[in-house]
Amino acid sequence: MTLTATQNSIEQEALQQEMTGAQILCEALLREGVDTIFGYPGGAVLHIYDELARRQRQIRHILARHEQGAVHIAEGYAKASGKTGVALVTSGPGATNAVTGIANAYMDSTPLVVISGQVPRKMIGTDAFQEIDTVGITRSCTKSSYLVQNASDLASIVKEAFYLARSGRCGPVLIDIPKDVTAEKASFVYPDEVKLKSYSPNLFADEKDVKEAVSKILKAERPILYVGGGVIHSNGADELLQFAEKLSLPVTPTLMGLGCFPSGHSLHLGMLGMHGTYCANMAISEADLIIAVGVRFDDRVTGALDKFAPRANIIHIDIDPSSVGKVVRVHTPLVGDARSVLRQMLDALKSFQKPNTELLSDWWDKIEEWKRFAPLTYEPSKDVIKPQHLCEELHRLTNGDAIIATDVGQHQMWLAQYYGFKYPRHSLTSGGLGTMGYGFPAALGAQIAFPEKQVIAFVGDGGFQMTAQELATAVQYRTNVKIVVMNNNFLGMVRQWQEIFYDNNYSEVDMQCQPDFVLLAEAFGAKGFRAKHPNELTEVLRRGLETQGVVVFDIEVSQEANVYPMVPPGAGLKEMVLG
Amino acid sequence: MRHTLSITVENRCGELARIVNLVSGRGMNIESLSVSETLETGVSKATLTLFGEEQQIELLLKQLSRQVRVLSVCDMNNIQHFEREMTFVSVNTPEEFSRQEILQLAALFRAEVVDANQNAITLQVFGERNKIDWMLEQLKKFEISECIRTGTVAVPKLRGEI
């Protein structure tokens, strides 16, 4: 017997020995290829942390400073890398703190496995110390959840949880483990595959429907590709580019789809929706055929539904059958993974005559006219830093290559409009839930996944203060994450709505006391840079971005700038206010 | 409009709660709910009646079928089907003549006496909701001390000839 074979058989034997629940959990995580997890210890997870300390070489644990932070970091890690993020929290307050993170991942379909401790089985239901019904609380924001009853069930539950989190429409799965289960012994048997009676997501769409869709596209006079997060989740950006280029189709991404199509490309119309470009919103409104790929016709995208694309025939590609036809009537549903279905369509194209792109020349003339009529624009200033200018400078200094995470609000929209993402998995944003405090920890997660890449958190002064404590995490693990605080001393988007729709009646949006963000950075052992004047902006950004380690930029921008174009709530996409 | 939904789901801790959550999270109230295991081990069938607008119900059906452990969802309103429920009703009978009248009513509705003592009588009755509603209406002139309904169960009508 060779040495390796001996080792293998010893390993095999060791695995068949009885293990504690905590050991089983760690062993199962390794089988799923997990090498990094994010968490915060506590009473109910002590056995697990005891085991993790022994396995530091196999599983790296990143200690966050708050459970919400831990889950956001895990989500940023997952979104940037395409892996499944893993978070570990204790029972009671550990779990309730994690809920915002779990809900955020649910709304943005990010694959996460969240492991929470629970009080011992016998104490469940007794209002024990740090007891809360975690499965109950998270039921409506998880794809599936488990309360583990026996250590012998744990291995197959972990296997199933990972399978569910990263297949079909991805999402967070919760495993709640009572403390005594993590100490209980059972033999470790890891299943090879998961079979569920009720769940087998379609990768490919029906061939006949694909053919029908392609023939519609070839006949369309005013087609448009409306693309979103599904393209990124399925790693379908290359296929999308090929498909769009072959047929010279105009492309408009959603907020979640930023980067799935290169923004500098001539077929790119910019983002659509409430703060989308004039051109994109006009084009989708006038289209005779919408090819929707991995999108869900969100209300922030469609505007008033009765005015949305009234003349369009709609082809909808989505992995989630319940998303198809949920909001608008779909004429050709193609249920499947965005990349797989795009490949099917590329294949199907071969059986048709070479597309006549001449057919679209009138359509493209019109689109170019819209582009010229109202390009994204803002009034430059020599006295104050314009937020739009800040986004453009960031693009210029990073060559549009950085991974950038944002919260929700004005800064998020300006970055979406002016940064110009080139690659998928580079824009990490809280699209569905709209969580303030998401951006910085998410950027930190991306930086941990890619230590060598330029990763930036682009956040507002309000949102940054919601999870700023994670600066300690960023510094502890010697990351290079850069945090750009777009500081207008206002809760900007709420202020904008109060200005426009509530007759300038500003109510509780003025942040009258703010920390000195430069000193705050220094207090955590990070570096701080400040820019107040447009003259110094470029130099401050350049110096800061070149600085090793964690850097916080306090960038004071014009206080009452508004995001335009804007489709007022309840209006149709064509009823944009251009500013 | 009232809808009768038939949902096949894995018989697993917490799955019924997920279904109920989805309905109540939309501000809809469940009128009746009846669940039990099917012939297939590990699979349950729930029949649920509720009121909702067409669009609301359509959305709910989609969200229900998206659940990982839900095998199938059917709005029985869209197909021909039979609906039945069972009810126990106990009626006080302080006088002999009221007992006689109740027994006559019971015969009319094909209700069965399952229990009786000097002062009361308990009936069981099967049938469509309307029939049971109607019988209870008739019994209201007596003193009803207990009334328990199972909620609706529904089965699709067989196709073709006998």
Q: Which of B9, B18, B65 sits opposite A139 (nearest CB)?
A: B18
A251-254 long-range CB contacts below 8 Å, 24 or more apart?
A251/A224, A251/A225, A251/A227, A252/A224, A252/A225, A252/A226, A252/A227, A252/A276, A252/A280, A252/A283, A252/A284, A253/A227, A253/A228, A254/A226, A254/A227, A254/A228, A254/A229, A254/A295, A254/A298, A254/A301, A254/A431
Q: Say which range, A7-11, A103-107, A284-288, B152-156, has the weakest mean pLDDT.
A: A7-11
How distant is the Cα of A101 from the closest Cα of chain B, in angstroms?
20
Q: Is the pLDDT of residue A2 over 60?
A: no
Segment A563-572 shows an average pLDDT of: 95
- Using CA atoms, how far residue A94 sits from A64, A66, A77, A150, in Å, is 12, 8, 20, 22
- Residue A411 gets the label, from left (phi > 0), alpha (psi -120 to 50) or beta, of alpha
* Alpha carbon separation from B15 to A99, B5, B59 (Å, rounded): 20, 16, 19
Mutation for testing the B interface, residue in A198, A200, A306 having most B CBs under 10 Å: A198
Identical fold, B2-79 and B82-155: yes
Which residues of A are catalytic, by number?
Answer: 67, 129-130, 179, 493
Question: Is omega for the bond preceding A451 within 30 degrees of 0, making it cis?
Answer: no
**A284 within 8 A of A313, measured Cβ to Cβ:** no
Chain B positions in Cβ-Cβ contact with residue A164 (cut-off 8 Å) = 68
Check residue A10 and give its pLDDT. 56
Q: What is the mean pLDDT of residues A251-278?
A: 97
- Closest chain A residue to B25 measured between Cα atoms? A140
Is A109 a residue whose pLDDT tops 70?
Answer: yes
Rounded (5°) CA angle A471-A232-A418: 65
Cβ distance of B62 and A198 shorter than 8 Å: no
Mean pLDDT of A448-476: 98
Q: Which CATH architecture has domain B82-155?
A: 2-Layer Sandwich (3.30)
Q: Are A458 and A486 in contact (CB under 8 A)?
A: yes
Q: Is the pLDDT of residue A52 over 80?
A: yes
Radius of gyration of chain A (CA): 25
Task: Tell me how far apart the alpha carbons of residues A42 and A91 are, in angstroms, rounded to a whole number.
Answer: 8
A543-550 average pLDDT score: 98
From CA A142, how far away is CA A139, in angstroms rounded? 6
Q: Which fold has domain A207-373?
A: Rossmann fold (3.40.50)
Dihedral sign (CA A34, A35, A40, A43): positive
Alpha-carbon distance of A482 to A228, in angstroms, equals 27
Pick the CATH number of A17-187 from 3.90.79.10, 1.20.1300.10, 3.40.50.2300, 3.40.50.970: 3.40.50.970
**pLDDT value at residue A358:** 83
Residue A543: band (very low, low, confident or very high) from pLDDT cuts 50, 70, 90: very high
Cβ contact B18–A135 (<8 Å) = no
Distance from CA of A88 to the nearest CA of B (A): 22
Encoded amino acid at A66, one letter: H
Q: Which pLDDT score, from 0 to 100, does residue A425 have? A: 98
Residue A536: both structure tokens together: 């110094």
CB contact under 8 A, B43 and A197: yes
Residues 6+ apart with CB under 8 A from A9: A1
Which residues in chain B have Cβ-Cβ distances shorter than 8 Å to A196?
Answer: 68-69
Q: Which residues does chain B have within 8 Å of residue A145's beta carbon, measured at their own beta carbons? A: 14
**Contact list, A197 vs chain B (CB under 8 Å):** 10, 42-43, 71
In Å, how far is A169's CA from the nearest CA of chain B?
10
How many CB pairs below 8 A link A and B? Answer: 42
The yes-or-no verdict on residue A184 having pLDDT over 60 is yes
Please identify, in words, the CATH class of the domain defined by A387-556: alpha beta
Question: Do the domains A207-373 and A387-556 sit in the same CATH topology, yes or no?
Answer: yes
Whether A470 and A448 have beta carbons less than 8 Å apart is answered as no
How many CA atoms are closer than 13 Å to the CA of A39, on its beta-carbon side? Answer: 26
With CA atoms as reference, report the closest residue to A420 among A440, A444, A396, A442.
A396
ipTM of the complex: 0.88
Task: Please report, for chain B, the start and end positions of each structural domain, with discontinuous segments joined by +.
Answer: 2-79, 82-155
Check: CB of residue A270 under 8 Å from CB of residue A279: yes
Question: A318: helix, coil or strand?
Answer: strand
Closest of A453, A445, A343 to residue A71, by C-alpha = A445
The backbone torsions φ and ψ at residue A447, rounded to the nearest 5 degrees and listed phi first, read -65, -35
Residue A448 identity: I
Residue type, A576: M
Assign A436 a pLDDT band (cuts: 50, 70, 90).
very high
CB contact under 8 A, B22 and A197: no
Q: CA distances (Å), B64 to each of A37, A71, B7, B17, B88, in order?
A: 32, 27, 8, 12, 32
A-chain residues near B71 (CB < 8 A): 197-198
H-type alpha helices, B13-151: 15-24, 54-66, 96-108, 129-139
Contacts of A296 in chain B (CB under 8 A): none
pLDDT at position A8 over 70: no
Classify A327 as helix, strand or coil: coil
CB A509 within 8 A of CB A490: yes
Sheet strands side by side (includes A172-178): A60-63, A36-39, A85-89, A112-118, A172-178, A144-147
CATH superfamily ID and name for B2-79: ACT domain (3.30.70.260)
Q: What is the mean pLDDT of chain A?
A: 95
The b-or-e profile of A485-509 (16+ CB within 10 A means b, else e) is: bbbbbbbbbbbbebeeeeeeeeeeb
pLDDT band (50, 70, 90) for residue A1: very low
Beta strand A144-147 with B43-51 is unpaired
Three-state DSSP at B143 gives: strand
Q: How confident is the model at residue A284 (pLDDT cuts 50, 70, 90)?
A: very high
**Beta carbons within 8 Å of B24's beta carbon, 6+ residues apart:** B30
- By CB neighbour count within 10 A (0-12 exposed, 13-18 middle, 19+ buried), where does A281 fall? buried
Query: Tens-of-pLDDT digits for all 162 residues of chain B?
Result: 999 999 999 999 999 999 999 999 989 999 999 999 999 999 999 999 999 999 899 989 999 999 999 999 999 999 999 999 999 999 998 887 789 999 999 999 999 999 999 999 999 999 999 999 999 999 999 999 999 999 999 999 998 877
Return all residues near A381 (Cβ < 8 A) that are at least 6 apart.
Answer: A389, A534, A558
Ramachandran angles phi, psi of A36, nearest 5°: -140, 130
* First-to-final CA distance of chain B: 33
* pLDDT at site A4: 56
Per domain, the residue ranges of chain A are 17-187, 207-373, 387-556
Task: Choose the closest CB to B68 out of A140, A144, A321.
Answer: A144
Q: Are B47 and B13 in contact (CB under 8 A)?
A: no
Do B13 and A198 count as a contact with CB atoms less than 8 A apart?
no
**Residue A279, both tokens:** 């051109």
Residue A446 tokens, joined:
């991306």
Question: Taking a C-beta distance cutoff of 8 angstroms, is the pair B15, B26 a contact?
Answer: no
Q: Decide: B157 and B104 in contact? Cβ < 8 Å.
A: no
- Residue A87 pLDDT more than 70? yes
The Cβ of residue A414 has, within 10 Å, a number of other Cβ atoms equal to: 27
SS3 content of chain B, % helix, strand, coil (to 5): 30, 40, 25
Q: Considering only CB atoms, which residues of chain B are within 8 Å of chain A?
A: 9-10, 13-14, 17-18, 21-22, 25, 42-43, 59, 62-63, 65-66, 68-71
pLDDT bracket for residue A15 (50, 70, 90): low
Taking 60 as the threshold, does the pLDDT of residue A559 lie above it? yes
Under an 8 A CB cutoff, do A320 and B71 touch?
no
**Beta-carbon-side half-sphere exposure of residue A287 (alpha carbons within 13 Å):** 27
pLDDT band per the 50, 70, 90 thresholds, residue A215: very high
| Full DSSP string of A205-247 | --HHHHHHHHHHHHH-SSEEEEE-HHHHHTT-HHHHHHHHHHH
CA angle A242/A243/A244 to nearest 5° reads 95
Q: How many angstroms separate the CA atoms of A433 and A255, rounded?
A: 13
